[in-house]
Amino acid sequence: MSVSRRLFLSRIGITTAAAAAIALPPAACTVIQEEPELIGMARELEEAERRFVLADDNWKAARERAIAAMPAIPPALFVKAEERPMHRLMDLECPRDFDGKPDFKGPSSDMRLSRSSLVGRVDQFDALPDGHWAKGSELHKRAADLLALDERHAADCERIRRESGYEDADECRDHAMRHIAQVAMGIFAIEPQTTQGLLIQSKALTSVAGLPNRNKADASELGRHLALNAERILGQTVQS
């Protein structure tokens, strides 16, 4: 066989082998598919977020209604600075806002008698034996009247929270937040196979981190898992 013929046949063989390599990729080049369960949970997360938005809007509207209807704290429960020596045996506290946080909007000198102090003082008088000078005295009656006033005010506040729809809205909102967190935890329980899975877990992390009153430690732990998964998947992508 002439040299030219052998060279021709050699070139034909190389071209055919190259074409076969392109047409039939090796098993290592097979496209990796994401876990179907993870994709399904991504859709569940979207629905959970949609429900939370509705619940959150309803909660905000109910909260505004409740705050607008809340009765003011009875003035008799406040103690002015100049009156404090007369109440030296009573605990005073800063007024609380709708969420139970200290409310500093009023005069800094205004403090109110605490519920526990009123209860303790009335119980102390009631425990005295009959005939004791303090039992049934003006001090006893005054403490009992103030406690009754405080209890009526608290009962009115609780009634408004119920009737305004706030308590139901608060429960629904809390349930919606818990559901988002549960779905997110389920998403992170599945090991992602592709960058699509990483994006799904990133979205779940963002959802949990954005929830109000949520323990930030949960988001930190999920972020750690996401970083490990990203290192594994992106590392495989670079190597391939």
Write out the chain's pLDDT in tens, 240 residues.
544 444 333 433 433 333 333 333 444 445 678 889 999 999 999 999 999 999 999 999 999 999 999 999 998 888 776 555 555 556 777 788 888 887 765 554 578 888 888 888 888 888 888 878 777 788 788 889 999 999 999 999 999 999 999 999 999 999 999 999 999 999 999 999 999 999 999 999 999 999 987 667 788 889 999 999 999 988 865 555
| Strand spans (E) along the chain | 78-79, 92-93, 111-113
Q: Specify the pLDDT at position 8.
A: 33
Say what percent of the chain tops pLDDT 70.
Answer: 76
End-to-end CA distance of the chain: 43
Q: Is the pTM above the cut of 0.75?
A: no
Residue 133, phi then psi, degrees to nearest 5: -60, -30
How buried is 154 (Cβ within 10 angstroms: 0-12 exposed, 13-18 middle, 19+ buried)? Answer: exposed
Q: Specify the pLDDT at position 22.
A: 33
The number of beta carbons lying within 10 Å of the beta carbon of residue 183 is 21
Residue-wise pLDDT tens digits, 70-95? 999 998 888 776 555 555 556 777 78
